[in-house]
Amino acid sequence: MVLDRPQPSPTMASDELESYKDRFVRHLSQTVPGRKELVVVEARDCTVKTADGRLFLDFISGISVANVGHSQPEVVEAVHKQMASHAHVNVYGRFVLPTQVEIAERLARVAPGDLDVAYLTSTGTEAIEGALKLARKHTGRKRFVAFERGFHGRTFGALSVSWKPQYRQPFEPLLEGVDFVPFDDLESLDRVVGHDTAAVIVEPIQGEGGVRVPSDGFLRGVREICTDRGALLITDEVQGALGRAGRWFSFELWDIVPDIVVVAKAFGGGLPLGAFVSTPEIFSTFLDPPLSHLTTFGGNPVSCAAAVAAFDIIERDGLLEASARKGAALKRRLESTREQFGDLISDVRGRGLWLAIDLPPDLAMPIVNEMERRGVIVGSMLNSEGTVRIAPPLIVAEAEMDVFVGVLRAALREAATGKLAV
């Protein structure tokens, strides 16, 4: 099954298109080798258009960024309006910027407990760095506990609490005093969290670890252990917030309240924006001495305007409920596909529109590539070999989910008959 669309209408001549590919490789630092295949010129709703005129269904949302869809008109209008007013002036330290106030109030309104204060950043990794600093300063302790398969970013602090050794070892020494324990294993956690632990950092649902959902008692147990030892609980919601798992925050699925919450990706409505959210008491530690933490571009007014618009769309259009409902329907389709291709799909899991399937490791990327060839974008995972990422925008239509499933099954049939290049 393929997308029902007209013949491609190129927006670039072939020589111009190829020139961009060559210049990209020549002038942009690459951490993944090879020449890129697609030159993107437009993205709308759940689709991406390339310079040769092809349309693709985006079933990873730019890695859980485009929750309200690409180039959502109200978000675009908010960005235009804010840009016409002012962009960067002085984000932290001197002025009140209304869009910052508006998005921080919205976060505080939906966050549980006393999580009423947000520090705005540009990225999720930057927000993780701030959360780690805040935990150390507030507790006066040095150690952290993180989880196997966990991923929190690439800068030194965030990398220090990210699990995969091959990403950490080339840059060591990193932060000292970080213990890794198996995800969803309270006994192992209980053994390492001590009275010198500043914080435990956890993704309530692991993202790059393969959309791994813990058992029902796990996060409550983590909360209890942290409370007992006086350690803070940091939940990394960079991928999981803003409706991805069917709630504002994925930790709400287990009715806990962390001490610090980190958000980014979908938070900015398509523009760079992150935040770490905590209580007034915990944040007061950044006042002594003043300027304990600073940013130049974090909370940029234009990004905040996009975030306000995206937040209001999620709330007004019931996208939390839509994510839960559509995700359950899509998961049923994936389970049915697993029954049909049981020799290839070993597991289907996830919550809301945050799903994954496990394939033989040598077939995962060939399946991803074949689906792209047929007009559907999915992806792999950093910390889960053989896992395919499935995370469409929350506005995805039933017909688009049908197209996705049809393309997936076509690719699996190619694999089952040995026609895919491995």
Q: What pLDDT shows up at residue 274?
A: 98
Please say which residue of 316, 346, 380 terminates a domain: 316
Please say which residue of 278, 297, 316 terminates a domain: 316
Cis, peptide link before residue 112, omega less than 30° from 0: no
Q: What pLDDT shows up at residue 2?
A: 45
Residues 192 and 276 in one domain: yes
Give me the mean pLDDT over the 243-267 stretch: 98
Query: Is residue 4 a part of any domain in this protein?
Result: no
Q: What pLDDT shows up at residue 1?
A: 41
Query: Is residue 1 a part of any domain in this protein?
Result: no
Backbone φ, ψ for residue 148 (5° rounding): -60, 140
- 71: which residues sit within 8 A by CB, 6+ positions away? 42, 43, 44, 45, 270
Q: DSSP H helical segments within 86-182, as ranges?
A: 98-110, 124-139, 156-160, 165-168
Query: Is residue 60 a part of any domain in this protein?
Result: yes
Q: What pLDDT shows up at residue 416?
A: 93
Query: Is residue 150 a part of any domain in this protein?
Result: yes
Give me the mean pLDDT over the 281-297 stretch: 93
Task: Tell me how far CA of residue 36 lies from CA of 18, 70, 401, in angstroms.
Answer: 10, 21, 27
How far apart are the C-alpha atoms of 299 and 295, rounded to whole Å? 9
Give the count of domains, the chain: 2
Give me the mean pLDDT over the 153-164 stretch: 97
* Residues shown for the chain: 422
How far apart are the C-alpha atoms of 214 and 220, rounded to whole Å? 11
Query: Is residue 226 a part of any domain in this protein?
Result: yes
Average model confidence (pLDDT) for the chain? 95
Residues 25 and 77 in one domain: no
pTM recorded for the entire structure: 0.95
Residues 191 and 211 in one domain: yes
- Confidence bin at 91 (pLDDT 50/70/90): low
pLDDT in tens, 6-60: 567 888 888 998 889 889 888 988 888 888 889 999 999 999 999 999 999 999 9
How far apart are the C-alpha atoms of 55 and 57, rounded to whole Å? 7
| Class of residue 215 by CB neighbours under 10 A (exposed 0-12, middle 13-18, buried 19+) | exposed
Please say which residue of 297, 316, 335 terminates a domain: 316
- Confidence bin at 248 (pLDDT 50/70/90): very high
Identity (one letter) of the amino acid at 33?
Answer: P
Give me the mean pLDDT over the 290-312 stretch: 95
Residues 177 and 202 in one domain: yes
The CATH number of residue 382's host domain is 3.90.1150.10
Residue 92 has pLDDT above 80, yes or no: no
144 forms beta bridges with 178, 199
- Residue in 394, 352, 265, 309 with CA at minimum distance from that of residue 106: 309
Q: What pLDDT shows up at residue 34?
A: 85
**By residue range, what is the domain housing residue 90?**
73-316
Residues 148 and 188 in one domain: yes
The CATH number of residue 204's host domain is 3.40.640.10
Q: What pLDDT shows up at residue 216?
A: 95
Q: What pLDDT shows up at residue 6?
A: 56
Which has the minimum average pLDDT: 3-12, 195-204, 229-238, 289-298? 3-12
Residues 278 and 376 in one domain: no
Cis, peptide link before residue 289, omega less than 30° from 0: yes
Task: Tell me how far CA of residue 184 lies from CA of 171, 215, 221, 233, in angstroms.
Answer: 28, 7, 10, 15
Q: What pLDDT shows up at residue 115?
A: 98
- Confidence bin at 4 (pLDDT 50/70/90): low
Q: What pLDDT shows up at residue 419?
A: 83
